[in-house]
Structure formats: structure tokens, C-alpha cells
A and B are shown apart, each in its own frame.
Chain A
Amino acid sequence: MSAVLDHHDHAHDDHSHGAPAGWRRWVFATNHKDIGTLYLLFSFTMLMIGGVLALGIRAELFQPGLQLMNPELFNQLTTMHGLIMVFGAIMPAFVGFANWMLPMQIGASDMAFARMNNFSFWLMIPAALMLAGSFFMPGGAPAAGWTLYAPLTLQMGPSMDAGIFAMHILGASSIMGSINIIVTVLNMRAPGMTLMKMPMFAWTWLITAYLLIAVMPVLAGAITMTLTDRHFGTSFFNPAGGGDPVMYQHIFWFFGHPEVYIMILPAFGIISQIVPAFARKRLFGYASMVYATSSIAILSFIVWAHHMFTTGMPVTGQLFFMYATMLIAVPTAVKIFNWIATMWQGSMTFETPMLFSVGFIFVFTMGGFTGLMLAMAPIDIQLQDTYYVVAHFHYVLVAGSLFALFAGFYYWSPKWTGFMYNETRGKIHFWWSLIAFNVTFFPMHFLGLAGMPRRYADYPMQFADFNAVASVGAFAFGIAQVYFFVFIVLPVMMGKGDKAPQKPWEAAEGLEWEVPSPAPFHTFENPPKLDATASRVIG
């Protein structure tokens, strides 16, 4: 507590430590909280743009026949929806959470590299503009799918180059962000905050940051080779010159599979913090959670080719990747069991963060099971590149990552803004999202089993009803997120609602609850003295 109080006295004497005013505060931001806010606002903007593209897709697919757009535009929408959601919405949102929470959780004064932090955020703006602006280039946006498979990418117009450049920049930004997180977590923990006492969110982000550093350069390599194939006469992936298109897929998925864990591990961290807080009981099996997260991260490097069962791998290849993939179910199951054991014999209340967490566990597990189905090579032969896969990865990325982000917002926004969100509206947002999500994506399992291929602008009549249901659900889901921003986020940002106490959740643990709400501009300028559990400031 004293560290914080010291800071207050300090701030009165020394104005240079206060928040700078006006646009300079944001453009020259070096404060982790400001940069966190920028990341979160940026990712929500991209979520809306990606969402509009998704609604374009669903509107076109509401009925069979080309209703609103030609197939070229449709392919552009599917491609850009994927790229924007993955690289613009989900990943930066977690970086925003990391910026806001990590220094506070480990008792650090800020991120290790404050100026690099600024740079890694502001790099995203030109990249995002280039991505979104590619719709207005000759020939339209890239239309080769978010996976950018060669040699289809070689046929794309100039927007493909803009897309590749944007991905390079986003990759550089992610790598800088990861270095920052690793250095912060490893070097700037307060005395007494040992690694095995760290909050789970810090642990999962530490592991995620290593994954990012390992695989972002691989993606950069793949798209650079695509670029030189397009313009400089090389033939890495161009079969006309002896290149191998399947090699592209190997390289891409060597990045791509760890990437999906990059998008889910921090979500596991958020859930692992919220469930104990609302169960009023310590997290069950903390150590096994850390080991499970690490196992998932390590396994994620040896399963990539399960995305490629239909490329025609040899028997041994299919078997190896099938076994390795199914193995991931084990640490994931351990995590689910641990969460449920944490809830078991707790004293639970169900405020919105807890609702989203329970919703996450329930719906994410469905995505986990469909993942197990897809891991089975013989079943995958039927389901690969159908709507079943679309259903699967939206169950883990929307009901997984996005729901965890919402849970995290409700949990920590009182600390960020100093105001409590409106609980009734939070609950409306949860139930509305949960129901609309399932209406959208559950029927897609049936479409996939029936053999409807993904990325189709038009489909046989027999698929019409489920597509119509999915489209209705998608619009409902989209409106729910607008409701979230206008009626929940904006009010707390503008200071409407009840004042948040320092610790709004009865049993929440962690150093972030040891500072006032809203968190002062600078926290823990001097290393705090921690108790034995490293969750409270003493003396």
C-alpha cells in the first residue's frame, strides 16, 4: 500500500511524472496503461471492421444464388475477415491486456522498453490502413484466403503486395511486443514475486511471447518468398519454375498452428484468474496449469501438418501428425478439469466476468472436441475444408479467445476506468452473445458433415436452411457487440456508473487490486514489499 501512497505524494511535487495532456499523451505514449488503452481501442475497431466483412459474407450466404456480390468480392471478404480478425483484433487485444495488467500484476513500474512499446503499437496503424485500404486497390483486396496459399497468391493483384507488407509490419510489431513482455516478466518482478507465484495471466503471456518470437519470423519468411516469387522471378512455391506449393503450406502452418495457441493461451490465463476470484477459492493445481500450458506450447510445434491431411502425405506422416495432435487433448483436458475443480465446493457468484468464464469453459470445450474429431485423419478427410472446420475454429476463437477477452474486460475494467460497468447490461451482453454465437456456428457443423465446402460464394439448394439460420445468428451476434461498446464500454469510459472500489471483487487476488481504482498513471514506482503469497503488498 505504501508504495502507492508514496507515489501520490510524489506526484504532487513532481509534475513531469503526471499524465501528459492532449494528443501528445497518445502519440508519444510510453506509459503501459495508455498504450494498453490504445491497443484495446485499436483491436475493437478492427473487430468491428472484421465483423462488417463477416456480415457481408453471411448476407451473401443467407440465400443460395449470388445475391449481393460477385464471387471475386466474396473471396476478398473471406480473406480479409480472417486476416483482420487474427492479426488486427484478437492478437492486439491480448497485447492490450498484457500492457495494462502485466506490470501491475508483477509489481513493476512499467514495461521494460517503454519507447519500443510505443513503436510496436504505432506500427500497427499503417499496417491496418494498408490492409483495410487494399479493398480500394486495382483488382480489390487479396482473395487467396487468410492462409495465402501459393500459387493462388501469385495470381493476385497489387493488393497482395500491400497485404504482405502489412503482415511484415504487424509481425515486427508482435515480435517487439513479445520481447518487451518477456523482459518485463523475467526482469521486473517485485522482490518475492517468484516465477511460481506469478499470476496465471503473466505465466500464459510469458509462454505466448516465446511462441510469438519463435514463429512470427517463419511467417515473415513464407510471405517474403511469396513476394519474391511474385516479382523477382524466384520459384520457391511456383510450380511453373519447379517450386513446391505444398512447401508453402508446411512453412505457413509451422507458423499457423502455434499461432492458434498464441490466440488462446492468454485466454486461458484470464480464465484462470477469474474463476478463482468468483469461486472464492484458490486456483486448483496452479503448478499443473503452468506445466499444461507449457506442454501445449511445446506440442504446438509438432502438429502443424494436421492442417494438411488432404495434401497427400505418406501414411507415416499422417499417423505421426494424428497422434501428436490428439495428444494436445491431454493438457487441454487437465486445464478444464482444474477450472472445474476450482469451482467445486467454492462459494460462487455469477457476475458478468464469471458468466463469460463459465460460458468460455462450456463452449470452448465443444470446440476442443470438434478439434479432436478433426485430428482423426480419416474423419478429417471428410471434413477438411468444409464448414465443420469453420465451426470448429470459431468455437475456439470466438467462444474461446473473444469470450475470454470480454471476461477480462468485465473483470479489470473497474481498475482501468475507476467505474463499475452496468451489471444488468453485462448479463444481457453475455446471454445475447452466447445464444447468437451458437445459432450462428452450431448449424455449420451440420453443413460441414453434409460436405459444404468453405469459401463458397454459392451453394447447392439443400444447404439453404442452415445457412439462413447461421446468417440470422451472425447479425444478432454483431449487434450484440455494438450494444457492448455503446451501452457498456462507452459509459465506463466516460465515467458514468458507480465508482469502483479498489477491489470490486470480494475474493480477487493479485497486486492489481492493491492499487486504487482507477489505477494511477504510475504504479509501483518503487518495488513493493510483498507477503508470502506474493499477492498482497505489506508494510
Chain B
Amino acid sequence: MKSISNKLASLLLTAGALIGTAAHAVNDLPGGPAVRQLNLAPPVTRIAEEQHYLHWMMLIICVVIFVAVFSVMFYSIWKHRKSVGYKPATFHESTTVEIIWTIVPFLIVIGMALPATKVVVAMKDTSNADLTIKATGYQWKWGYDYLKGEGEGLSYISTLDATQRAMSNNGAKGDIPDNYLLKVDNPLVVPVGKKVRIITTANDVIHAFMVPAFGIKQDAIPGFVRDTWFRAEKAGDYYGQCAELCGKEHAYMPIHVKVLAAAEYSQWVEAEKKKAAAKADDPSKVWELDAILKRGESVYASNCAACHQPNGKGAGPIKALDGSATVLDADHARQITVLLKGQNNGAMPSWKQLSDTDIAAVVTYTKNNWSNKTGQLVQPAEVLALRGK
């Protein structure tokens, strides 16, 4: 099959090359899309393999029927033409034939449904997982919480690499990496050969967690939990993207799953736990303006800049922070409440998942950046005091 695919690809490539889009040399991304990929992603789980098999089966059956049916039609078009003097027959019904060609497709359809049934049952069996991870869709990033199994308690956010987002804005010109739009700061890390159950939910609107190589796609629905599972059989990096329209940055919330060997996975868990312990901020710590501004700048870049823009001017319905009365207000509670609770029906989402320190930092940053030179300093303790109010 492969050689046919390749020939077809090169044929189509000629068309593509003619219009000059192949200007950048792009390579296949292992675990992600291949250049001019023609079929499903190479499977890494049993389920994905079954899907491959089903797809080939369906494709072959459909092509055979298609060719059979339309060779009859084209034969007829060729032979039964007025211009070759063919005289029309007068038959216009035949109960036998009609019954046959109702029953035969029915049997074919049953033949197709049977193998699919067993895959559906296997796909939906999320019991006895070795590791359970909650994937939360946010506008526009993924949050991963390790709920059960090795690594329990780890929790982090995974965001598209900011330089790649900027490349997109610049029209993807120049030297573009092979993992364009798929590179994240913190990939989801899982052990090889273990049954991983992914529980999906969302914070704002519906997202969908998809990894083609694993054969999974599960909507992440706010207010509800759903689940899916995979058992990766090969270590490596695998990529997916959000598959349910979730607003303007829909194309910019990729999924990167790093599958590690058992030992490496344990090492990674240890290292993460240490890092988490070191990073855990004491909300009662009193910060200096310079230090908290630096922290605020990075919080802003990875959470706020997508909508409010790096220049703080907003865009369209998105409010400007630069010069905003709420931001300039000497009453810190006003802005902190907006961050904790959201505003305008979730158009400005709630950011309560950020730590007290992060919220204090980003509030301080916005109060002292661009033309906002208030000199105000917000401490994490103020955020802590407003939480739950």
C-alpha cells in the first residue's frame, strides 16, 4: 500500500510545488504529522492499531463496491447511448432485483459493524488504570493533574511556546521548526506500557483532548467529567491539538505527550516533586517591587498576553489594561476580584487556578507597566484574603 501512497503523494506534490509553497524545507515530525501524510498517524496503542485496521478494511470494501457499481454505470454510459444508436429497453421494475440489492447492502453493513463493535467496547473500558490524570481545558491551554498512580499530586499547566505563537502572527515566515504550533512548555509525561486513564473536563468552554497516534479524542466539557484511556507501547514524543472550537486561540493549544521508560518516568516524577516543593510559594511572604514585577511579567506573558496583547491594549471586545480604571484603582481588591471571579459572563475568565503569588505578581505588573505607573505593590496575602469571598 505504501508505494501506491507514495506515488499518489508525489503526484499531488507536483501540484503543490508548482504553486511554490514548498519553499520551507519541512520534515516529518515523529509522533506528529508527516509531510503530506496520507493515512492515519502510525499507531502506538492497540486501539489505534485496531482503528487502522478498521479503516483499511472499510476503505477496501468501499473502493471495491465503488469500482464495481460505477464500472456498471460507465459501461452503460459507453454502450447505451443514443449516439451509438442504442434503442431504450422498457423495463422499469423487478421485485427480485430490488429485494436483492436491499438485502446485500444490509448484510455488508452488518459485516462492517461487527468488528467495529468489539473496538468500541475496548475503547470505552477505562477500568483498572495504572495512572489517572485529569486534563483540564482552559482557554487556551491544558492543565494536567496527576490524580492517582505514580506521580500523584503533580499538577501543572501546558501552554504553546510563545515564540511559536509569535511566528504565527508574523505569517510563519523564515525558518520554521518542524514542531511548529506543537511545542509546549510542559509536556504531559507518562510511562510506557502502562494503562493511563485521562479524565477530561474544562474550565470555560468545550475543548477536546486528541492524540492521533494513541487513537484518542475526548471532549473536555465544563461542569462534567468524561474519560478515555491509552496504553502507549513505544516511548517517544506524541502530538495532538485541541479538536473542538473553543474561541479565538483554538489553533494554539497543542497537546504534547512524552512517553518515558518506567525508570526515566520515576526519575522525572522525583525531579518534579522536588521542583514543586521548592516552587511552592508561601503566600505570607512579603515581596519587593522589582522581584514581583519580574514574576508578574512571565505570568502575564503566558496567561494574559494572548487576549490583552503584550502591549496591554486589548483588541476588539477585549478590554485594554493600559489606562484601565480598574487597573489604576488604588483599591487593589477591585482588580483582584476580577481575576478571581472573571467578568462579563466568562469573556474574562476566572483565574483562580493561579497561585496567590502569581495573581499578586500579575496585578502588580499591570499596575506598573506601559503607561500605568502607579507604583502600587500588591502582596500575595491580599489575594489570599479575597479568595472565597
Contacts and interface: CB of A to CB of B under 8 A. Distances in A.
Interface of A: 62-67, 70-72, 75, 138-140, 143-145, 149, 151-152, 154-155, 157, 230, 239-240, 242-246, 279-288, 310-312, 314-315, 318-319, 322-323, 326-327, 329-330, 333-334, 336-338, 340-350, 358, 361-362, 365-366, 369, 372-373, 376-379, 381-382, 384-386, 443, 446, 449-453, 455-466, 468-469, 472, 507
Contact of A446 (B37, B120, B210): B37
Contacts of B51: 378-379, 381-382
A446 B62 contact: no
A349 B77 CA distance: 9
Contact of A382 (B167, B172, B180, B212): B212
Given A155-B345, A315-B121, A469-B16, A283 B88 contact: no
Contact of B112 (A326, A343, A466): A326
B58 A372 contact: yes
A244 B224 CA distance: 8
Given A315-B121, A451-B210, A239 B29 contact: no
A282 B34 contact: no
A465 B12 contact: yes
A75 B248 contact: yes
B66 A365 contact: yes
A70 B212 contact: no
Contact of B35 (A139, A282, A465): A465
Contact of A347 (B54, B88, B206, B226): B88
Contacts of B119: 377-378
Shortest 4 CB-CB contacts between residues of A and residues of B: A65-B172, A239-B223, A312-B226, A465-B16
A166 B185 CA distance: 43
Interface string B174-194: 001011111000000000000
Given A144-B245, A330-B106, A461 B172 contact: yes
B204 interface: yes
Contact of A66 (B47, B171, B218, B245): B171
B171 A63 contact: yes
Contacts of A384: 217, 243
Interface string B96-107: 011001100110
Q: Which one of A334, A343, A461 has the greatest number of beta carbons of chain B within 10 Å?
A: A461
A487 B73 CA distance: 31
A280 B223 contact: no
A138 B317 contact: yes
B113 interface: yes
Contacts of A287: 93
Given A63-B21, A382-B217, A462 B29 contact: yes
A455 B82 CA distance: 47
B28 interface: yes
Contacts of A455: 245, 250
Nearest to A507: B88
Contact of A343 (B76, B246, B247): B76
A151 B222 contact: yes
A152 B120 contact: no
Contacts of A154: 345-346
A464 B26 contact: yes
Contacts of A369: 62, 65-66
Contacts, number: 358
A329 B105 contact: yes
Q: Which one of A240, A310, A362, A451 has the greatest number of beta carbons of chain B within 10 Å?
A: A451
B116 interface: yes
Given A65-B171, A340-B72, A385-B208, A469 B15 contact: yes
A127 B29 CA distance: 47
A242 B15 contact: no
Q: Which one of B21, B93, B102, B117 has the greatest number of beta carbons of chain A within 10 Å?
A: B21
A75 B217 CA distance: 22
A443 B216 CA distance: 23
Contacts of A458: 168, 172, 181, 251-252
B251 A457 contact: yes
A378 B50 contact: yes
B80 interface: yes
Q: Which one of A71, A284, A319 has the greatest number of beta carbons of chain B within 10 Å?
A: A71
B33 interface: yes
A462 B34 contact: yes
B280 interface: no
Contacts of B241: 451, 453, 456
Interface stretch (B38-46, B143-151, B325-333, B371-379): B38-46
Given A379-B51, A450-B37, A468-B16, A347 B82 contact: yes
A72 B93 contact: no
Contacts of A345: 76, 80, 86, 88-89, 91
Contacts of B227: 312
B116 A377 contact: yes
B348 to A, nearest CB: 10
A318 B50 contact: no
Given A285-B94, A379-B51, A382-B40, 15 more contacts: A64-B172, A138-B317, A151-B206, A281-B89, A285-B98, A286-B93, A312-B228, A315-B120, A315-B124, A322-B117, A330-B109, A345-B80, A449-B37, A460-B33, A464-B24
27 contacts: A155-B247, A155-B345, A284-B91, A311-B226, A318-B120, A322-B113, A326-B113, A330-B106, A333-B105, A334-B98, A345-B86, A347-B88, A365-B66, A372-B109, A373-B62, A379-B58, A446-B38, A450-B38, A451-B212, A453-B242, A453-B243, A453-B250, A458-B172, A464-B16, A465-B36, A469-B12, A472-B15
A277 to B, nearest CB: 12
Given A340-B72, A460-B181, A377 B345 contact: no
B1 interface: no
Given A310-B243, A347-B87, A378-B54, A322 B92 contact: no
B380 interface: no
A281 B81 CA distance: 12
A106 B19 CA distance: 52
Nearest to A506: B82
B22 interface: yes
Contacts of B82: 280, 347-349
Contacts of A379: 51, 54-55, 58, 116
A66 B171 CA distance: 5
A465 B13 contact: yes
B32 interface: yes
B78 to A, nearest CB: 10
Q: Which one of A314, A319, A349 has the greatest number of beta carbons of chain B within 10 Å?
A: A319
A254 to B, nearest CB: 18
Given A466-B16, A466-B36, A312 B219 contact: yes
A384 B242 CA distance: 12
Nearest to B48: A382
Contact of B32 (A310, A318, A460): A460
Nearest to B171: A65
A143 B245 CA distance: 9
B267 interface: no
B69 interface: yes
B22 A465 contact: yes
A286 B92 contact: yes
Nearest to B203: A239
Nearest to A344: B76
B170 interface: yes
B29 A460 contact: yes
B168 to A, nearest CB: 5
Contacts of A155: 204-205, 247, 345-347
